[in-house]
């Protein structure tokens, strides 16, 4: 992997993604045999979290422990980055102590500024704009389930949010058609789409719909996420009304392929974007997907921190 940081899937080449998946597979198989590769002995990861997290925080921390290293969880009340001191100073000082930094924050520019001044790798653990570690784990999971990306149809139902953007980017990189159904006003924007088209060498890999059924037709993967992302809580009532018909339920599943896999980055809001019978049903791979966060992040840490 050539890049110093992982702030966006756009930072990765196709061969970087293939390398991450290759190392993930090796580490996962090794782990399942009862071993772990202690390639990060003595290394420390600083984990800045300005928003809640269960999967990302725990999987990165466990990943460091399994690789022989250590992680320090830093909430906003601990370091108050950007307020108690500038991001520039925080980045430079942290770089003298730790070997890598993950950051979960609101503005993508905060992560960019941290990476600009940090001399150690910075990994985006979610911003309002992107969630690259999630997308890597999701596509790794899809490869595990279908053994190939060839002719796979991935459909995202719901908000054109951070998760949808990172999925759209990784699909463009891997030459996979990405179908997304969103209500008017919540779509992936034309500006974002034209950036992604550039990333995929001019190919139109994103297909937008208003009707979830049209988007879900013959899909191999149906994916959804919350209607109300962290930071949007004041819009809850309006969003619940707007997204009412953008739910993965039995009716929607009927238009997809018979072997469709249902995915959700979690946390899920059962009864809103996904029903109980779907998330608990035979098509759901949400917990395999969550598990793969650990294996993919181990690969990322191994590739970025051992340099
Ligand atoms: N999917 C995900 O990033 O979960 P957390 O918000 O719990 O980390
Ligand atoms: N879109 C969600 C993802 C949570 C993992 C959010 O930003 O809250």
How far apart, in whole angstroms, are the C-alpha atoms of residue 172 and residue 14?
10
Burial classification of residue 111, based on how many CB atoms lie within 10 Å of its CB (0-12 exposed, 13-18 middle, 19 or more buried): buried
Q: Is 137 in the pocket of ligand 2 (CB under 6 A)?
A: no
Shared domain check, 285 and 230: yes
Catalytic residue among 225, 239, 247, 295: 225
Q: pLDDT (tens digit, 9 = 90+) per residue, 231-282? A: 999 999 999 999 999 999 999 999 999 999 999 999 999 999 999 999 999 9
Q: Do the beta carbons of residue 171 and residue 12 sit within 8 Å?
A: no
Going by pLDDT thresholds of 50, 70 and 90, the confidence category of residue 306 is confident
- Assess whether 138 and 233 both reside in one domain: yes
**Residue 200 banded pLDDT, cuts 50, 70, 90:** confident
Shared-domain flag, residues 50 and 163: no
Q: Are residues 192 and 271 in the same domain?
A: yes
Residues 169 and 276 in one domain: yes
Domain holding 74, by residue range, is 9-131+293-305
Report the chain's C-alpha Rg in angstroms: 19
Same structural domain for residues 173 and 120? no
- Looking at the structure, tell me whether residues 280 and 137 fall in a common domain: yes
Out of 265, 283, 289, 295, the active site residue is 265
Number of domains in the chain: 2
Assigned domain for 225 exists? yes
Same-domain check for residues 175 and 281: yes
Asked if residue 213 and residue 183 are part of one domain, the reply reads yes
Q: Is 289 in the pocket of ligand 2 (CB under 6 A)?
A: no
**Cα–Cα distance for residue pair 289/267, rounded to 1 Å:** 12
- Do residues 141 and 280 both lie within one domain? yes
CB atoms within 10 A of CB 4: 15
Q: Are residues 178 and 223 in the same domain?
A: yes
Q: Give the pLDDT of residue 223.
A: 99
Give the tens place of pLDDT for each residue, 278-288: 999 999 999 99
């Amino acid at each position: 992997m050539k890049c110093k940081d992982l702030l966006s899937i756009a930072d990765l080449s196709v061969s970087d993604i293939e390398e991450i998946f290759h190392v993930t597979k090796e580490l996962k198989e090794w782990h399942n045999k009862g071993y772990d590769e202690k390639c990060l002995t003595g290394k420390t990861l600083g984990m800045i979290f300005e928003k809640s997290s269960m999967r990302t925080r725990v999987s990165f921390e466990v990943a460091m422990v399994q690789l022989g290293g250590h992680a320090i969880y830093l909430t906003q009340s601990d370091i108050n980055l950007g307020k108690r001191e500038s991001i520039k100073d925080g980045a430079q000082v942290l770089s003298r102590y730790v070997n890598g930094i993950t950051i979960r924050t609101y503005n993508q520019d905060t992560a960019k500024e941290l990476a600009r001044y940090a001399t150690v790798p910075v990994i985006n653990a979610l911003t309002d704009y992107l969630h690259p570690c999630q997308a890597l784990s999701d596509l790794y999971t899809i490869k595990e389930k279908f053994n190939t990306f060839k002719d796979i149809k991935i459909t995202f139902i719901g908000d054109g949010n951070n998760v949808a953007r990172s999925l759209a980017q990784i699909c463009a990189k891997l030459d996979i058609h990405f179908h997304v159904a969103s209500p008017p006003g919540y779509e992936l924007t034309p500006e974002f789409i034209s950036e992604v088209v550039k990333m995929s060498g001019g190919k139109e890999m994103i297909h937008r719909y208003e009707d979830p059924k049209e988007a879900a037709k013959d899909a191999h993967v149906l994916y959804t996420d919350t209607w109300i992302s962290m930071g949007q809580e004041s819009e809850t009532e309006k969003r619940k009304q707007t997204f009412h018909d953008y739910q993965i339920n039995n009716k929607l599943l009927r238009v997809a392929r018979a072997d469709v896999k249902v995915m959700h980055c979690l946390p899920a809001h059962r009864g809103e974007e996904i029903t109980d019978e779907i998330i608990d049903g035979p098509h759901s791979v949400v917990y395999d997907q969550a598990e793969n966060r650990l294996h993919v992040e181990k690969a990322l840490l191994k590739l970025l921190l051992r340099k």
